[in-house]
Amino acid sequence: MKEQVESRYFVEAAAKVLDVLESFNGQDEELSITEIARRTGSTYSSAFRLLYTLQKRGYVMRLAGKKRYLLTPERYGFRIGYAALQTSKFHQEVTWHIVVAARRLAIALVVKTNDEFNVSKALLNADELLAEKIDLLIEYQYSETASHLIAAKCHDAGVPSIAINIAQPGAYYFGGNNYATGALAGDFLSQFAKMHWKGRADVLLILPAKGLVSTQEARKTGLMDSLKKGLPGLRASDVLFAPPGLTAREGYAITNKMLREVGGLSKRILIATLTDSLGIGAERAIQEGGLEDQAVIIGQGAGRDARARIKKGGSFKASVAFFPECYGDRVMTLAVKVLGGQQVPLASYTNHAVLTAENLKEYYPDGDHP
């Protein structure tokens, strides 16, 4: 009789949700939908729906670029400072997801906004955040000079730090594997030339961004190493380095000028831009020059604006994805581990993939993220 009474109050749907959570053997275990379905004895579609719901409510995280999940870390009462960049769609996505992840983990997040190359602003923000008695500083800014000065401030205050995308002395690093992203861009351009131009290209234009000195050198090295392997016929004289820029407007002006110099009407042109904004500007110059059938552009970052351009079609055909939507959970997980005294690697990398119109749905099956 007792078992019959208890069964009246047993909620099967809730039990299935708990089965999914209990299928993980620890915080660090990564499981696929198929593995979870097998462990819980459910169908693939049922496991997917439950995981999707748990992900939206913040109990599990999907690894960017993968169909694998892990448990969201436990909630903590830490106080963390975040000096953010907000000038591009990519920056805005990273910030949005960091704020959401902090809220989900009950972490008090104090946010200040950096300008890309304003050293004084970055130092002022660091001072103000350290004055807030934070437990850890997350720093996202482009000046290597500021990085060294902020590193000294954190050292003196005894506050650990995490640097996003731009390395900072003494800080844990989370962001791109820049040599690898350059190599991915070079491989894409090589494969495109082989598929569409019989393995030949007349010009390679490389559009670097302002600042980011060591970051860009790593990307350029990876790019050139990959192209030398993929397109051995490309001569050093065929490679042109543009002056550095930052915005789409600068990408447009720089590309226009270089096209006039090389005389693009009969040439097959590869364009590697080291940020997406420059690539978007370069695409406009290609369109206005009537060179869409003779040029291919690949960017770096794959933020919302770049994904929209790729989906639309045109000469901006690809971008090396950094998956900004994964930064929130992964940066906050790293912060919690650092503050919990766990041993973590000095450098942690986001996942990377070359996004094209053909595979966007594979990586963003539910459309774009906020």
In a domain, 63, yes or no: yes
Per-residue pLDDT, 10: 82
**Whether residues 165 and 251 fall in one domain:** no
Indicate the pTM of the whole model: 0.78
In a domain, 360, yes or no: no
Per-residue pLDDT, 260: 86
**Whether residues 169 and 279 fall in one domain:** no
Per-residue pLDDT, 369: 45
**Whether residues 302 and 213 fall in one domain:** yes
**Whether residues 29 and 85 fall in one domain:** no
pLDDT in tens, 38-60: 999 999 999 999 998 888 777 88
**Whether residues 55 and 30 fall in one domain:** yes
Q: Which of 47, 71, 95 is at the close of a domain?
A: 71
Q: In which domain, by residue range, is 26 found?
A: 2-71
**Whether residues 240 and 259 fall in one domain:** yes
Say if residues 303 and 327 touch (Cβ distance below 8 Å): no
In a domain, 366, yes or no: no
**Whether residues 151 and 208 fall in one domain:** no
pLDDT in tens, the chain (370 residues): 344 445 777 888 888 999 999 999 877 788 999 999 999 999 999 999 999 888 877 788 777 667 788 887 666 779 999 999 988 888 999 999 999 989 888 899 999 999 878 999 999 999 999 999 999 999 999 888 999 999 999 999 999 999 999 999 999 999 999 999 999 999 999 999 999 999 999 999 999 988 767 888 999 999 999 999 999 999 999 999 999 888 999 999 999 999 888 875 668 999 999 999 999 999 999 999 899 989 999 999 998 899 999 999 999 999 999 999 999 999 999 999 999 888 899 999 999 999 999 999 999 886 654 4
Q: What is the CATH number of the domain that holds 159?
A: 3.40.50.2300
pLDDT in tens, 59-73: 887 776 677 888 876
**Whether residues 152 and 282 fall in one domain:** no
In the chain, how many domains are there? Answer: 3
Amino acid at 99: V
Return d(Cα 142, Cα 139) in angstroms, integer. 10
In a domain, 87, yes or no: yes
**Whether residues 25 and 143 fall in one domain:** no
Per-residue pLDDT, 67: 79
**Whether residues 297 and 336 fall in one domain:** no
Q: What is the CATH number of the domain that holds 58?
A: 1.10.10.10
In a domain, 182, yes or no: yes
Per-residue pLDDT, 2: 41
In a domain, 239, yes or no: yes
In a domain, 358, yes or no: no
**Whether residues 289 and 224 fall in one domain:** yes
Q: Which of 25, 54, 71 is at the close of a domain?
A: 71
**Whether residues 191 and 315 fall in one domain:** yes
In a domain, 364, yes or no: no
